[in-house]
């Protein structure tokens, strides 16, 4: 079976590596254009090392892009972490079409930040979907879904790198095997039972200390490591990473530092407290004890004011 891999970064690289280990016939790799000042994309690097042709269109919405996909004369395109929108004519150019990895349980959390949002919303589970993309945004028929737990203290990094990444690579290979066996399903999504959320960006990662501590904690976990939850101190941005829900502590107004320990500072929320352990400020990403020592933070100071 002639396969094209369209993807990028470590996820795309791992999918390609697994295909090559199995002796699959990967006839081309498509990946995002090179970013100035950044290292070579790992998927591109592996493809070049193995002598596989690499193509980097700036858009798939062109006649040239359609000609490119048709020129591969491939049976399937495996889309392994694709951010550029691919129109239907390109998706359908391979003999058996294209299937794509998406890190949520479709139709829930369609959109570009599908790992962040369930964590931010306090969900106890998420998962991944392999689906057949169409002209909509993450709306095509489902090939398979796999669930995983979101632990009470799991961050975005935990959920992706420890769960959705390895599960997703396995699911891409399993989906190919189903396709080869002629048993890959196409189950329509019921979009009325799902949701679409846009980017989880800087605005969504801002800490509102008037909210309950549990809600703030969910936002911090959902933004760790990217885009990084943030507040302010005396007008300067202070990003918050490692943290824990406070078990007890003196009361204070929202955002007030109510206790300083050896490894954390305790900050009051609308209800409850939060123990902050690692932050990023002008001196970089540091343990909060180093931040306290460097900036003379003291109890009574108010964050986010």
Write down the residue that tokens 């306090």 correspond to: 122
Residue 251, pLDDT score = 79
CA distance 25 to 2: 5
Residue 247, pLDDT score = 84
pLDDT above 70 (res 161): yes
Residue 226 CB burial class (10 angstroms; 0-12, 13-18, ≥19): middle
- State mean pLDDT over 70-85: 96
Residue 124, pLDDT score = 98
Task: Work out the number of other CB atoms within 10 angstroms of the CB of residue 125.
Answer: 10
pLDDT band at 283 (very low <50, low <70, confident <90, very high): confident
Q: Are 29 and 53 in contact (CB under 8 A)?
A: yes
The fraction of the chain above a pLDDT of 90, given in percent, is: 95
Q: Token pair of 3, please? A: 């396969």
pLDDT above 80 (res 305): no
Residue 18, pLDDT score = 98
For 204-241, the pLDDT digits (tens) are 999 999 999 999 999 999 999 999 999 999 999 999 99
User: pTM for this one?
Assistant: 0.94
pLDDT above 90 (res 250): no
- State mean pLDDT over 184-189: 98
- State mean pLDDT over 10-24: 98
Q: DSSP 3-state assignment of 84?
A: coil
Write down the residue that tokens 């280990």 correspond to: 21
Average pLDDT, the chain: 96
Q: Which residue has the higher pLDDT, 83 or 108?
A: 108
For residue 290, CA distances in Å to 95, 185, 277, 278, 287 come to 58, 54, 10, 9, 6
Give which of 218, 11, 230 is closest to 121, Cα–Cα.
218
| Residues in CB range of 261: below 8 A, 6 or more apart | none
Omega of the bond leading into 116 within 30 degrees of 0 (cis) = no
Domains and CATH numbers, the chain: 2-193 (3.40.50.170), 213-295 (3.10.25.10)
For 86-112, the pLDDT digits (tens) are 999 999 999 999 999 999 999 999 999
- State mean pLDDT over 109-130: 98
pLDDT band at 282 (very low <50, low <70, confident <90, very high): confident
pLDDT band at 37 (very low <50, low <70, confident <90, very high): confident
Residue 249, pLDDT score = 64
pLDDT band at 20 (very low <50, low <70, confident <90, very high): very high
Residue 36, pLDDT score = 87
- State mean pLDDT over 23-28: 98
Residue 166, pLDDT score = 98
């Amino acid at each position: 079976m002639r396969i094209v891999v369209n993807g990028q970064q470590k996820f795309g690289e791992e999918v390609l590596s697994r295909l090559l280990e199995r002796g699959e016939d990967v006839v081309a790799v498509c990946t995002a254009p090179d970013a100035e000042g950044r290292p070579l994309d790992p998927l591109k690097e592996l493809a070049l090392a193995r002598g596989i042709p690499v193509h980097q269109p700036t858009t798939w919405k062109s006649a040239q892009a359609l000609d490119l996909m048709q020129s591969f004369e491939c049976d399937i395109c495996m889309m392994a972490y694709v951010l550029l929108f691919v129109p239907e004519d390109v998706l359908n150019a391979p003999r058996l079409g294209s299937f794509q990895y998406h890190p949520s349980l479709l139709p829930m959390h369609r959109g570009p930040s599908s790992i962040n949002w369930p964590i931010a919303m306090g969900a106890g589970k998420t998962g991944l979907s392999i689906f057949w993309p169409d002209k909509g945004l993450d709306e095509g028929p489902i090939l398979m879904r796999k669930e995983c737990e979101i632990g009470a203290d799991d961050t975005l990094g935990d959920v992706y790198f420890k769960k959705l990444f390895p599960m997703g690579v396995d699911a891409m290979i399993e989906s190919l095997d189903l396709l080869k066996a002629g048993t890959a399903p196409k189950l329509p999504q019921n979009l009325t039972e799902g949701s679409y959320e846009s980017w989880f960006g800087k605005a969504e990662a801002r800490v509102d200390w008037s909210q309950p501590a549990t809600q703030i904690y969910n936002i911090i976990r959902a933004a760790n490591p990217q885009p990084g939850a943030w507040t302010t101190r005396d007008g300067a941005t202070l990003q918050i990473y490692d943290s824990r829900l406070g078990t007890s502590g003196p009361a204070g107004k929202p955002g007030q530092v109510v206790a300083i320990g050896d490894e954390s500072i305790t900050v009051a929320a609308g209800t409850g407290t939060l123990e902050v352990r690692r932050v990023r400020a002008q001196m970089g990403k540091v343990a909060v004890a180093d931040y306290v020592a460097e900036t003379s933070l003291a109890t009574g100071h108010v964050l986010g004011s």
